[in-house]
Each structure stands twice: as structure tokens, then as C-alpha cells.
Amino acid sequence: MVKLMNKFKAIVQETYVDQVKSKSFIILLLLPIILIALSGIVGFISYQNASSSGNDDTDKIALIADNGIKQSIVQKDGNSIDSSIKTEQQAKQKLKNDDIYGYVKVIKNNGKYTAKYIGNETIDSGVRDDVMQSLSLHQNQLNLSNSNLTSEQIKKLSNKPLFDIHVKKQSNDNKSDDNVIKMSSLQVLIYILYFFLFIYSSITASVISKEKGSKLIEIIFSSTTSTNYFIGKITGIVLMMLTQFAAYLIMFFGSYFFLSQADFSKDFISENSNYVHQIIDNLVNINLVFIIFGLLLGIILAATAGSLVSRREDANKAGQPVFMLVVILFVLSMIFQNNSNNIIPKILSYFPLSSYFFMPIRMINNQANIYEGLISLVILIAFIFGLTYFISKVYKGLMLQNNNGGWFHNLIKGVKYR
């Protein structure tokens, strides 16, 4: 037993180190950084363009009005108003020089305020509203003082209607938030599965098929059992995948933490952290277990496909059957992600070749409870165990034989071989 374990460790280590040291794995690890850096560069360039074009025209106007009115407006819109301009003459000059894009002149005539805007472009609607609000306040005061009313009358005049709001259910706003979270969780789930299944089935199929029919495998099978070797290889690849997972998680949480601290992004992050947390909540539960076992199944299927190729030279094509399955699952999950209570996704959520896509989808959509999830998970795990047992038994035959038949022919031959 100890001997077997030592050999198992050697196989796992060899597979793991060989893969993790490879250039393609390092590129894979750096992929998110490269993507983020690229999008950062693109973002920076477009920001540069936007701000430099923004510099061309001014975003300020001038305001010519009584000091009282001017102050109350500048208080609200200080950023949009160049308060150094006092006279219409100055304003006209500045407008000509393009230092401002327009000016507002407020005049009082016969107890009535009139604001007049002259400019190269339309006045900013926010500034206009503020000007109007301010002016109507001042107009009110003016009206009251001009009308000689008693304080009793003034009080009556200032009566206002009341709008009392009572909301019994969760607000509509929250509901749409929920939907956004659901949709995003589903997208994240489907893409994680798709991405990792694709990468790892191709890695596995090529690792396995490269040894097909080689004399190397003869030496190995004269040293240890094929079961030990098969499970060792799979374990090595799974460890490699977990390494990548861990690296991505560290990158994700590292950058999340950084962005939530950094000045330029912390507001954005704190506004959206709720979304992110809920998406994580949707995935880091039984669904994560589904993801991991789904990927494990993908790896085992790819290893099987790899051992069924005719010749080592076909290593590139080895993963094809698994790729097909992954693409079909991807398309189906895209079709059914919003309609997952249909009979087809219901069946697929228990069928072991597809349950790791569909059960999490249905769980996120609240269409399956934890017990249904566990039943499906048990089926998946049992299937994985059964498949691993079967493959590891026939693995020796599959790997040692050299036939030129199709994969089914090879499977039959391989089973008979040993």
C-alpha cells in the first residue's frame, strides 16, 4: 500500500510539474491580467480622447444677476458658472473667446423676473432648472411682499397637498436588481464551466493521447498498475486546475480589494459590491461543488477520449468528442437558462453528463431545492466513480493497443485486450 502511494505521488507530481511548468499554463494564468491590462489601456486611451476633446469647449456659462439671486444659484451650480464675470459686456467678450458657452441675464421688470439666455449651444438643463427654481423662489417672495397680505392669509396660501406613500411589497426596483443578479450569476456559471471544460478537456486529451501506444507506457505498466497510473494522471491534472482556480481567485479578490481602496474606483465598487456579493453567494455553495465535479467529469471523459485515439499523431483531435459535448451543453444552457423549469432542462439537471450545467441553473433560478440538488450531485458523483472504475480497469488495454479503427472499435478492442 505504501509502495502504491509512493508511486501514485510520483505520477501526480510528474504530471503536475510537467504541466504547470509549461508555457501554455503560464500564459493561461496570466490571461486575466493580460485581458485586464488590455482593457485598461483601451479605457485609458478613450478616456484621454474624451477629456482632450472636452478641453476644447468650455462647460461654463456666465450669470448676470442681482447679488442675492446670483449667490443662491452659484451655491447650487458653482461648477457650471463662471462667477468672475459681472457684466454683460464681459460675458459677450468671453463668449466670443469661447471661454464660456453662453450667459444668462436676469432682469426684474414690473415685479417680474425674466431670465434671458444667449449662447453658442443650448444651456445645460440642470443649470436651467436650478435657475428657474431660484427665480421662482425669489418671485414668490417678491409676489408676497407686493400683495400686502396678512400673515393669516399668507399661511392659508402656503397650504400644500400631501403625497403619503406606503409600499407593502418589496419595491419594484429591488426585483429588477434580483433579476440582474440572477442573470449575471447564470452567465458567470455558464462561462466558467465552458471555459474550464474546454481548456482542461483539451489539455487532458492531449496529455493522455501522447502516451497512447508508446513504449513509455509499457515501461510504466511494468512498474505500476494502470488504475494507479490513470488516477494519478487525473489527480495531477485536477491539481493543476485547482492551482489555476486559486490563482484566479487570488487575482480576483486582490484586484477587488485594491479597487475598493483606490480613490478612482472605490465609489463604483461600493455601489456594486452588493451585486458582486450576491453573485458570489449564488455560486459559492452546492453549485461550486457541481462546478468542480462537472470539471472532473470533463477531465475523465477527455482522458477516455484521449486513450481512444488511433495513433499518437491524432492527439490534437483527441478531445473532439468532449468538445462537442461541451458546446452542446453550452448552447442548451444558453437556451434554457431563463426557462429552466421546462421538462428538458429538468431531465438534464439529473442526467450526469449535463447535471453540472443545469442543476446549478435551476438552483439559481430557485426552481430546485437543496434536496433535489443533492440527489443530482449524488448521481453525478456515483457516475464519476463508476466511470473512473471502468476506465481504470480497461485503461491498460486502451493504452497498449495500436489500432486504426474508430474510437468505438478501439474501445471494444481495448476492453478485450486485457
d(CA 315, CA 22): 17
Q: Does 10 bind another protein (CB under 8 A)?
A: yes
**What is the nearest approach in angstroms of another protein to the Cβ of residue 417?**
6
Binds another protein (CB under 8 A): choice among 72, 134, 228, 307: 228
Question: What is the amino acid identity at position 256?
Answer: Y
- Write the DSSP symbol of residue 109: E
Beta carbons of 241 and 16 less than 8 angstroms apart: no
Write phi, then psi, for 112 (nearest 5 degrees).
-135, 130
Binds another protein (CB under 8 A): choice among 117, 198, 248, 417: 417
Tell me, by CB under 8 A, how many residues bind another protein: 26
Q: Which is nearer to another protein, 221 or 245 (CB)?
A: 221
**How far is residue 198 CA from its own chain's centroid?**
18
Binds another protein (CB under 8 A): choice among 79, 150, 159, 222: 222
d(CA 296, CA 230): 13
Q: Which residue has the cell 400683495?
A: 147
**252-291 positions binding another protein, by CB under 8 A:** none
Q: Does 216 bind another protein (CB under 8 A)?
A: yes
Q: Which is nearer to another protein, 307 or 349 (CB)?
A: 307
Binds another protein (CB under 8 A): choice among 160, 168, 169, 215: 215
Helix (H, G, I), strand (E, B) or coil at 223: coil
Burial of 346 per CB tally in 10 Å (0-12, 13-18, 19+): middle
Q: In terms of Cα–Cα distance, which of 167, 184, 191, 172 is closest to 272?
A: 184
Q: Does 128 bind another protein (CB under 8 A)?
A: no
Q: Which is nearer to another protein, 5 or 378 (CB)?
A: 5
Over the window 301 to 320, marking each residue x when it contacts another protein by CB under 8 A and - when it does not, the resulting string is --------------------
Q: Which is nearer to another protein, 175 or 416 (CB)?
A: 416
Q: Does 403 bind another protein (CB under 8 A)?
A: no
CB atoms within 10 A of CB 312: 14
Q: Does 351 bind another protein (CB under 8 A)?
A: no
Which secondary-structure segment (H or E) carries 398?
Answer: helix 370-400
Q: Which stretch binds another protein (CB under 8 A): 9-17, 197-205, 330-338, 369-377?
A: 9-17
**b/e map 91-111, b = 16+ CB within 10 Å:** beebbeeeebbbbbbbeeeee
Q: Which is nearer to another protein, 6 or 369 (CB)?
A: 6
Binds another protein (CB under 8 A): choice among 214, 255, 341, 367: 214
Q: Does 4 bind another protein (CB under 8 A)?
A: yes
Q: Does 393 bind another protein (CB under 8 A)?
A: no
Neighbour order of strands in the sheet with 102-109: 61-64, 102-109, 112-119
Beta bridge partners of 200: none
Write phi, then psi, for 114 (nearest 5 degrees).
-130, 130
Binds another protein (CB under 8 A): choice among 90, 224, 265, 367: 224
Region class of 366: left (phi > 0), else alpha (psi between -120 and 50), else beta: left
Question: What is the amino acid identity at position 82?
Answer: D
Q: Which stretch binds another protein (CB under 8 A): 171-179, 224-232, 297-305, 353-361?
A: 224-232
**What is the nearest approach in angstroms of another protein to the Cβ of residue 320?**
22
Q: Which stretch binds another protein (CB under 8 A): 29-37, 98-106, 215-223, 361-369?
A: 215-223
**14-53 positions binding another protein, by CB under 8 A:** 14, 18
CB atoms within 10 A of CB 401: 18
List interacting residues with another protein (CB under 8 A).
Answer: 3-4, 6-7, 10-11, 14, 18, 210, 214-216, 218-225, 228, 396, 400, 416-418
